[in-house]
Amino acid sequence: MSEASDVLIFLGVLALYYVIFFYQNTVSRLISSLRPGVGGFGSGSGAAAGGARITTAATTKPVLPSEVDVLIVGSGNAGLSAALAAAQAGARRVLVVDKCPESWAGGNSYFTAGAYRFVHGGLDDVRPLVGNLDGVIEEKIDLPAYTHEDFEEDLRRVCGGRSDPRLVKALVDESAAAVRWLARLGVRFHLSFNRQAYVVHGKIKFWGGLCVRAAEGGKSLVCDLQEAARRHAVHVAYSTAFLGLERDWTTGELHVSVDADGVRRTIAAKAVVLAAGGFEANPRLRSQYLGPGWDMALVRGTPYNTGEVLEMAMRCLDAAPAGNWSGCHSVAWDARADPLAGDRDASNELTKSGYPLGLMLNLDGVRFVDEGADLRNYTYARFGRAILAQPGHAAFQVWDAQMSAWLRNEEYRPERVHRVEADTLEELGDKLCAGGGTGVATLRDKNAFLRTIREYNQAAHLHRGENPALKWDPSIKDGLSTQSKAMQLDLPKSNWAMPLEKPPFLAVRVTCGITFTFGGLKVDPATAQLLRQSNGHPNRGIYCVGEMMGGLFYQNYPGGSGLTAGTVFGRRAGQAAAAAIKADFK
């Protein structure tokens, strides 16, 4: 055999080897992509046969599909509600993208107390939803009904009558159905004994229109929604930022651009739901829309709600802005917290909501809010703004031993907050002037601090002397005030005005923690479909829910209504998207 023939045979064998090697690897990748897994289309009853798949393994990133039915931007309560509703309504390929890493999944929902405000008929109506009741406890519970009229009136009163009445009606009418739907999906609920009930005269009295929360707050809410998403073959791609979308007028599809770990990809979707949150984690936009000083607010939740999807929608999608763009949900927050993001371990425990039981004084030693204006659920979301407006953007909450005994342990225990304690008010003032042991001078005027508390105590005593029949009750607006015939403070405390006299005395330092912004985009209340700025018509195939939706909250907010709104309108968006796909893409 010639040398040339030998070379040809060698080259042929080498070529055959590479063909076999390539074939084996191709088949291996194909088989791997077909295996059901956490992130792969094809796992679960809702998967499309032969459709695009997201594949995941313990050490590999998901492979994004090129085409889906519904794409949701944002992995919080509203986004996952939309995804689950779409899957249940027949959407066969549902993808959620979120720019955050998986370790920050859940958006702001993770950092909530997990409370849901909804219409109910009292304990008998709520009992089937919750998993922490027994017969002995039930006998002691006083849980009043919360009616449609109650919910509507709370929204009207707290938001100054500015809320879009169509959004209000949708929220209130579907609030109970939304919570029951979540329970069927596997979200675990408990009666909120620790946050929404006081033991008064031997009865466990619920107050403020709230009674139910996710079992372990926002942490378990997000966990349970993620588990429901897995069961419904809804897939989530983290570290995948939404960049924009364009419409293919020939096919009707939406071409969504995303940045997946630095690689630009395009995904064709038949419907898109925007649920990417507000701009509360963006100091530039906070200053632009909320006003001067808001760049100094601390971020309570996710650092990934920075508003670029809102801006893109208005700039590129003709989206109509709606709602209170200068307003936000902001609370009294631990002054020592991280300014840029919430703490995923402490979560909502950094809120300091015990002010109705005591006083709030600024660094000059002066009160600046009526701590007893209303039940906490109706004031806490606006008092952050009041604190931010004070010198140094900070304040002190102060109690005596009688009132501090009623503080919630999860917010005020020594392991969670820096407590300044003293046997006299004089000593407390000295410690606060010295920074309360933190090495930072805080209280600027001890004499004003002591004078403010003395005048408050005197006014509280005089009112009680004129109204001996009134009894202190933290579960209602009890009428114990600082305003009597003998003496009236320029700034009253309208309820729960108990003198601060019993040692030891306690103070904690708070600042403003911003939760979410109220300004958003205008939607059709029936479908949550995005409305156009140019003509008011629906933007076909594009929906908007959660904090991105505007028009519901103005200046203030009834506690627990945000999660409920996210579920109600997320559910509507998912159902409407699935129905539109069936009609438009036959």
> What is the SS3 string spanning 44-85?
CCCCCCCCCCCCCECCECCCCCCEEEEEEECCCHHHHHHHHH
Question: Token pair for residue 409?
Answer: 């342990």
DSSP annotation string for 493-561: --S------SSSEEEEEEEEEEEEE--EE-EETTTTEEEBTTT--EEEEEEE-GGGB-SS--S---TTH
Do 452 and 567 lie in one domain? The reply is no
Q: Which of 477, 496, 513 is the last residue of a domain?
A: 513
On whether residue 15 sits in a domain, the answer given is: no
Q: Is residue 249 part of a domain?
A: no
Residue 435, burial from CB neighbour count under 10 angstroms (0-12, 13-18, 19+): middle
Handedness of CA 278, 156, 350, 422 (dihedral sign): positive
Residues 306 and 380 in one domain: no
Question: Is residue 334 a contact partner of residue 436, using CB atoms and an 8 Å limit?
Answer: no
Amino acid at 154: D
The answer to the question of residue 42 being in a domain is no
Among all chains, which residue has been given the structure tokens 């933290």? Answer: 474
Q: Which residues are CB-contacts of 370 (< 8 A; sequence separation ≥ 6)?
A: 491, 492, 493, 494
> Digits of tens for pLDDT over the chain (586 positions)?
444 444 344 444 344 433 333 333 333 333 333 333 333 343 333 333 333 333 332 334 568 999 999 999 999 999 999 999 999 999 999 999 999 999 999 999 999 999 999 999 999 999 999 999 987 789 999 999 999 999 999 999 999 999 999 999 999 999 999 999 999 999 999 999 999 999 998 999 999 999 999 999 999 999 999 999 999 999 999 999 999 999 998 888 999 999 998 999 999 999 999 999 999 999 999 999 999 999 999 999 999 999 999 999 999 999 999 999 999 999 999 999 999 999 999 999 999 999 999 999 999 999 999 999 999 999 999 999 999 999 999 999 999 999 999 999 999 999 999 999 999 999 999 999 987 656 565 899 999 999 999 999 999 999 999 999 999 999 999 999 999 999 999 999 999 999 999 999 999 999 999 999 999 999 999 999 999 999 999 999 999 999 999 999 999 999 999 999 999 999 999 999 999 999 887 6
CATH of the domain at 366: 3.90.700.10
Q: Are 570 and 459 part of one and the same domain?
A: no
Would you state the structure tokens that stand for residue 55, as one six-digit string?
């594949």
Full domain range(s) for residue 127: 110-231+275-327+518-584
364 and 378 in a common domain:
yes
Q: Supply the DSSP string of 93-127, one letter for each residue.
A: -EEEE-SS-GGGTTGGGGGS--EE---B-SHHHHG
Are 312 and 458 found together in one domain?
A: no
Q: Residue 66 falls within a domain, yes or no?
A: no
445 and 335, same structural domain? Answer: yes
Taking CA atoms, 101 is separated from 106, 178, 241, 557, in Å, by: 10, 28, 10, 30
Q: Is residue 298 located within the same domain as residue 386?
A: no
Q: Domain for residue 247, yes or no? A: no
Question: How far apart are the C-alpha atoms of 499 and 463, rounded to whole Å?
Answer: 11
Last residue of a domain, one of 513, 538, 568: 513
Q: Which residues contact 388 (CB under 8 A, 6 or more apart)?
A: 293, 294, 296, 297, 330, 511, 512
Q: Do 301 and 339 have their domain in common? A: no
Asked whether residue 102 is domain-assigned, the answer is: no
Q: Record the tokens describing residue 494, joined without a space.
A: 């309208």
CATH number, domain of 156, equals 3.50.50.60
Question: How many H-runs (helices) and E-runs (strands) does the chain carry?
Answer: 16, 23
Beta-bridge partners for 245:
256
pTM (predicted TM-score): 0.87
The Cα–Cα gap between 533 and 515 comes to: 27
Residue 321 and residue 338 in one domain: no
Q: Are residues 339 and 432 in the same domain?
A: yes
Q: How far apart are CA 150 and CA 157, in angstroms?
A: 10
Distances (CA, A) of 123 to 53, 144, 239, 401: 45, 7, 43, 33
Taking the C-alpha atoms of residue 169 and residue 242, their distance in angstroms, rounded to an integer, is 31
The count of domains in the chain is 2
| Domain boundary residue, one of 471, 496, 513 | 513
Distance CA 301, CA 289 (A): 19
Assess if residue 55 is contained within a domain: no
Assess whether 372 and 477 both reside in one domain: yes
230 neighbors 214 (Cβ within 8 angstroms): no
Indicate if 348 and 399 belong to the same structural domain: yes
Residue 443 inside a domain? The answer is yes
